[in-house]
Homo-oligomer: A and B are copies of this chain.
Amino acid sequence: MAGSAPADVPGDGPEPAGGRRRGSGRPSASMADVARLAGVSSQTVSRVSNGYAGVTEETRRQVRAAMKELGYRPNSAARALKRGEFRTIGVITFSLSTTGNVRTLEAIATSAAREGYAVTLLPVAVPTQDEVRGAFSRLEELAVDAVIVIMEVHLLDAATLTLPPHVQVVVVDSDAGDRYTVVDTDQAGGTRAAVRHLLGLGHRTVWHLAGPEGSFAAQRRADAWRAALAGAGRVPPPLVRGDWSAGSGYRAGRELAGHEDCTAVFAANDQMALGLLRALHEHGRRVPRDVSVIGFDDIPESASFLPPLTTVHQDFAEVGRLCVAAVLSKVRREGPDRGTTLVPTRLVVRDSTAAPPGRADGT
């Protein structure tokens, strides 16, 4: 198979006279070239290329052979122009520094590939409205049929107006299900599970190391934490804020280590939990004996923390899959125009949680 293809000397054959494909590239065979070589019309080549019926097996073979000889590749620009669709999904996201975004992106790319769609990445370096607007204006020129947005919606809002009207949008991490199609993790459910687990172990209350203010995910985890405590009749301690990074978790941990009555902390993600563990360790507060810690995300490394982290598992792969399914159903005008889909979470209990210290001997 590999032997017959003229892989190394593609300039040998009868080159079509005009039309170099790109500024400096080699000319690339077109349908007309294949048709000429195969002795058929270009329409027949098109039929073979698209696997349509109505072509003799014999003709089909000949065309295939000609294609192979010339190294023919369909020109996707012409195809897109003719068909009116690009078979491409654009993904807009903030810096790929958070595990969640990356894993979601990966799942999106995989699912999209399975559906015959390509994925184009639109990075937004800094999460400012200007930057977002910039990404969207790049998008306007872009060859995409649909867009998946992985970011906070309040940044999206300002930029929305400039979206090409025919492009479908699905949003991750947002509460704007009334305006967009939203796919997200069940933040509240995961948070509830975490808080209940800690209360169930006997902790009087649970502290919360929250994500940054701008984040909807952080917001919802904090809200759910407060609600879960309130539901159990407990008083929520003051909220401590980080920025998702391990460093911010460490700084917050130094503060929390000073509170003798802090026996259980729910960190809004695993990275901050990591920093928290280090800070507690440095202050001589043992985990889980003195303090219990729970994270969120279940990044692969969390099983190797010291101690292995109890955390809320997110199914990013499922989120990505659902995003693609939703956006494609919108493109095909099958699905609903808006609404929120939640992906369930699951508590993974490891070694960073235990009963509070006072409890073994007494109360």
On A, residues with C-beta under 8 Å from B are 2, 5, 7, 10, 19-26, 28, 71, 73-78, 80-81, 83-86, 88, 95-97, 102-103, 105-106, 109-110, 113, 118-123, 125, 138, 140-143, 145, 160-162, 164-166, 245-247, 249-250, 271, 274-275, 277-278, 281, 300-301, 303-306, 308, 331-333
A77:B77 contact, CB within 8 angstroms: yes
Say yes or no: B143 contacts A77, CB within 8 Å: yes
- Select one of B19, B74, B121 contacting A121, CB under 8 A: B121
The distance in angstroms between the C-alpha atoms of A119 and B105, with both chains bound, is 13
Given contacts A121-B120, A141-B73, contact A21 B304 (CB under 8 A): no
With beta carbons under 8 angstroms apart, the residue of B106, B164, B274, B300 that contacts A304 is B274
Q: Which residue of chain B is the closest to A161 with respect to CB atoms?
A: B7
Q: Is the CB of B22 within 8 A of A145?
A: yes
Contact A84 B246 (CB under 8 A): no
A160 — which chain B residues lie within 8 A by C-beta?
Answer: 7
A144 to chain B, nearest CB (A): 9
8 Å CB contact of A275 from B85, B119, B304, B332: B304
Indicate if the CB atoms of B106 and A96 lie closer than 8 Å: yes
Of B118, B246, B278, the residue contacting A300 (CB under 8 A) is: B246
A166 adjacent to B26 (CB under 8 Å): yes
A81 interface neighbour in B10, B78, B141, B331, Cβ under 8 Å: B78
Residue of B nearest to A78 (CB): B81
**Nearest CB of chain B from residue A275's CB, rounded to whole Å:** 4
User: Which of B81, B86, B246, B304 is the one whose CB lies under 8 Å from A250?
Assistant: B304
Residues in B whose Cβ lies below 8 Å from that of A105: 96, 121
Interchain CB contact under 8 A, A123 and B141: no
A274 to B120: give the CA distance in the assembly, Å. Answer: 33
CA–CA, A76 to B76, complex, Å? Answer: 11
8 A-B pairs within 8 Å (CB atoms) are namely A22-B84, A22-B331, A23-B85, A71-B164, A73-B141, A76-B143, A86-B143, A113-B138
